[in-house]
Structure 1
Amino acid sequence: MDQILQHFINAMVLGSTYALLGIGLTIIFGIMRVVNFAHGELYTLGAYTAYGMVTLINLDFFSSILVAALIGMLIGALIEYVFLRRKDLKNIDEVMLIMIGIMIIMQNMELMIWGGVAKIIPTPFSQDPISMGDISISPTRVFVFCIAAVLLVIFYLGIERTRFGLAIRATFQDQDAARIVGVNVKRIYTVTFALGSAMAAVAGALLAPMFVATPLMGDLASLKAFAIVILGGLGSLGGAALGGFLLAFIEEFGASYISSAYRDAFGFLVIIVVMLFRPQGLFAAKERVG
């Protein structure tokens, strides 16, 4: 029983960051219909930003996460304004090529700046785990879960309880109707891409101290983000959050009770099954963006 509870705790920590990653991708796709292939590189950007702030500028780890979020938001806004603002987003092929190009450019810039050697992000937390009987968890993981959970709650309240969140939801449901009632859809696009990018960057800054930062870490992050979105249902913000936790549980328990060598494969096997029997996703939204 203690072993199961230990895996449950590990999955909850990982799932909270997966949820941030999935929601960031979902909100961009749901509102703009843009398949953001650069999402994983924004995740990598957040990890390297945190590393650079802590090791090169001697900024404290907590502030480095905030800086990662701000830089992710800025880069996301620039991508939308410079590369997408004047494009016809309905031209899916052109937009996909643009996003793939941005992904390649960002990945090579990260490799050029930081090199191919993995970087370890130092944290102020003790290396000694917090033990409760046979269950233990590192202070870093406790911090990561708490920050990710708080951000998910703030995002939910921002979308559901604020006037700007209402404008985002209106655009999400029907862009033409939103324009008629005075919503500045172009501004919503910019803010949406900035928010989605910031969430990816924060996920990278939070997860990197638990593992390592590498220039290619965004490849797997992108695959997992798309898997989360597909699992939760395209266009469903709640589904993306639940999909993130579900993917983490599948990986954690699959690696523990079947084989750790196939940890990343278990989630994708489940995705294939879901696509075969419920292609709209497990938690698909009833309404989709038109």
Structure 2
Amino acid sequence: MDQLLQHLLNALILGSTYALLGIGLTFIFGIMRVVNFAHGEFYTFGAYMVYLFSVTLGVNFLLAIVIAIVLGILLGAVVEWLLLSKHRGADIDTTMLIMIGAWIIMQNAEQLLWSGVAKSIPMPFPEDPLTVGSVSVAWARLFVFVMATLLIIGAQMLIQRTRLGKAMRATFQDTATASLMGININMIYLATFALGSGLAAAAGALLGPIFIVIPTMGNLAVIKAFAIVILGGLGNMKGAALGGFVLALVEEFGAGYVSSGYRDAMGFLLIILVLMVKPTGLFARTERIG
């Protein structure tokens, strides 16, 4: 029972960051119909920005995370404006090729700037874990869970309770009608891509200090982000959040009770089963953002 509770706690913490990845991608994929293969590079970008500001420049760790998220949003806006805005209405194959190119360019730029040597980011938390009964958790991981949860709630509130969120939902439901009602579709697309990219950068900023930072760390992250979108259902923000926790749960129990070598394989086996049984996703009801 103690081992079970520990695995559940680990899955909960990991799932919160997976949810951030999934929500960011479901924004972009759901509203813009863009298959963002570069999503993992924004994840990597967030981790490197924390390293730059926290380790290299000596900025306060918490402030470095905030800066990384803001810069991730700005980078997303720049990428959308430079690469995607000029191809409005293009077929999905064209935008896929554009984003594959962006992925390659960003990853090679990171390799050039930071080299392939792994970077570690120290965290200002006690080394002794927090222990409650027979279950223990590192303070750093608890911090990651709290921050990720706050970001998920913030994203949900933005979509549901702000004018920007309403405009995003209207654009998702019917782009032509939203445009006729006075919504600036170009600005909505820009904001959507920037917000989705910022959430990916947030996930990288939180997980980078937990693990190590390397230029290729986004490769697996983007695959898992797509897996989470499949689990949650296209355009379903709550489904993306739940999908992140489900994927983390399957991975954690697979690693704990089968083999740690099969951690990632267990998650993707789940994806195959979901596609066979319910291709629209575990939590899909109707296609919507929110």
Q: TM-score, normalised by structure 2?
A: 0.97
Output one character per residue of 1:161-196: Cα deviation in whole Å (capped at 9) or x when no partner.
112211111111111111111111110000000000
**Residue 22 of structure 2 is aligned to residue 22 of structure 1:** yes
Please tell me the residue identity of whatever aligns with 2:276: L
Corresponding position of 1:83:
83
Please tell me the residue identity of whatever aligns with 2:67: V
Corresponding position of 1:226:
226
Corresponding position of 2:235:
235
**Residue 115 of structure 2 is aligned to residue 115 of structure 1:** yes
Secondary structure, counterpart of 1:190 in structure 2: helix
Quick one: percent identity of the two aligned structures? 57
Secondary structure, counterpart of 2:131 in structure 1: strand
Output one character per residue of 1:194-248: Cα deviation in whole Å (capped at 9) or x when no partner.
0000000000010111111111100000110010011111221111111001000
Q: Aligned partners of 1:285, 1:184: CA distance in 2, in Å?
A: 28
Q: Aligned partners of 2:105, 2:222: CA distance in 1, in Å?
A: 15
Give the superposition deviation at 1:288: 5.4
Corresponding position of 2:191:
191
Corresponding position of 2:146:
146
Q: Aligned partners of 1:198, 1:287: CA distance in 2, in Å?
A: 23
Q: Aligned partners of 2:91, 2:159: CA distance in 1, in Å?
A: 28
Within-5 A mapping of 1:86-235? 86-235=86-235
Within-5 A mapping of 1:10-49? 10-49=10-49
RMSD: 1.1
Unaligned runs of 5+ in 2: none
Corresponding position of 1:7:
7
Corresponding position of 1:53:
53
Unaligned runs of 5+ in 1: none
Quick one: structure 1 residues 122 and 89, their matched pair in 2 at CA, closer, same or farther if it must change by over 3 Å? farther
Q: Aligned partners of 2:205, 2:266: CA distance in 1, in Å?
A: 25
Q: TM-score, normalised by structure 1?
A: 0.97
Please tell me the residue identity of whatever aligns with 1:3: Q
CA contact (8 A) 1:234 1:285 kept: no
4+ residue stretches of structure 1 with deviation over 2 A?
none
